[in-house]
């Protein structure tokens, strides 16, 4: 890995820590827009899950007194079934299709969230939450992006922000932990991946610290727009590869 590629990797890692410190769930979303151009998809998946263990584990611990296991359990049950399945499918999926698919998902999610249409909160049920957990785990197993579906579900149900975080952070932690184990068993934890992890960890921690500091200075609307614009940019760079502009 040359200096330019390493610099892009470290910059993306810092930015991802920054946005995660602001919002608490976007680890892996922002970083994918750059990482998937400079490292392999398997390396990206295991690094996202490994770094996510730090941030989501800490967030879950901080929210331990507000946790509602009644709300959390169905998502976790659904996700435990298929995270390993998604990880095993990594070696058989066309990387270009996966890159574009993730890009489209990021663009749709960010545009929808920026528009933020007024809607009546959707009332869910335990079977539906188990199904959502299944889809969430499958996407996490394939990409390491284990929090998109469950987070959107929490938003659609109209729960207050604190209640949402008390649900999606423990779900994310469990999904990421399972995904990391599955990817390690699949052989993703190579010496090169471990080296990348160690190089990026200080930048992730610095970004997370900076994000937490900024969190107290920005209002909800300002930091939300910053995060969603970064997600939109990441999605566009996945759909339209950098190579087209060279």
Summarize pLDDT for 2-59 with one digit per residue, the tens. 788 888 899 989 988 887 777 776 666 667 768 878 888 778 878 888 888 877 777 7
Contact in structure between 159 and 61 (CB atoms under 8 Å): no
Through-space distance between the first and last CA atoms of the chain, rounded to whole angstroms: 19
What local confidence, expressed as pLDDT, does residue 242 receive? Answer: 46
Dig out the tokens for 80 from the structure.
């435990």
What local confidence, expressed as pLDDT, does residue 246 receive? Answer: 42
Residue 122, sorted as left (phi over 0), alpha (psi -120 to 50) or beta, turns out to be: beta
CA distance 88 to 91: 7
What local confidence, expressed as pLDDT, does residue 159 receive? Answer: 78
What local confidence, expressed as pLDDT, does residue 26 receive? Answer: 65
What local confidence, expressed as pLDDT, does residue 245 receive? Answer: 39
Buried b (16+ CB within 10 A) or exposed e, 43-54: bbbbbbbbbbbb
CA distance 5 to 14: 14
CA distance 180 to 44: 11
Contact in structure between 59 and 165 (CB atoms under 8 Å): yes
What local confidence, expressed as pLDDT, does residue 31 receive? Answer: 74
pLDDT beneath 70, residues of the chain = 1, 25-30, 33, 82-91, 93-95, 117-119, 140-146, 188, 220, 223, 227, 241-246
- Tell me, yes or no, if the pTM score tops 0.75: no
Closest CA to 46 of 136, 110, 130, 142: 142
Sole residue written with tokens 């680890």: 27
CA distance 90 to 173: 21
């Amino acid at each position: 890995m040359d200096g330019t590629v390493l610099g892009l990797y470290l910059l993306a890692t810092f930015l991802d820590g920054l946005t995660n410190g602001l919002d608490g769930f976007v680890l892996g979303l922002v970083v994918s827009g750059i990482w998937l151009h400079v490292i392999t998809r398997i390396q990206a998946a295991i690094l996202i899950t490994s770094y996510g263990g730090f941030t989501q584990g800490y967030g879950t611990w901080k929210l331990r007194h507000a946790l509602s296991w009644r709300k959390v359990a169905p998502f976790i049950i659904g996700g435990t079934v298929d995270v390993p399945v998604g990880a095993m499918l990594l070696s058989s999926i066309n990387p270009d299709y996966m890159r574009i698919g993730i890009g489209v998902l990021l663009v749709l999610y960010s545009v929808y969230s920026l528009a933020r249409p007024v809607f009546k909160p959707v009332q869910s049920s335990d079977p539906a939450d188990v199904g959502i957990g299944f889809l969430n785990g499958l996407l996490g197993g394939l990409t390491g992006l284990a929090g998109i579906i469950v987070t959107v579900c929490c938003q659609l149900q109209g729960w207050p922000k604190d209640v949402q975080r008390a649900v999606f952070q423990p779900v994310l932690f469990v999904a990421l932990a399972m995904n990391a184990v599955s990817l390690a068993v699949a052989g993703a934890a190579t010496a090169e991946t471990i080296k990348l992890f160690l190089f990026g960890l200080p930048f992730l921690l610095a970004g997370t610290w900076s994000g937490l500091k900024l969190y107290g200075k920005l209002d909800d609307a300002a930091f939300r727009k910053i995060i969603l614009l970064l997600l939109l940019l990441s999605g566009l760079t996945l759909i339209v590869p950098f190579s087209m502009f060279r």
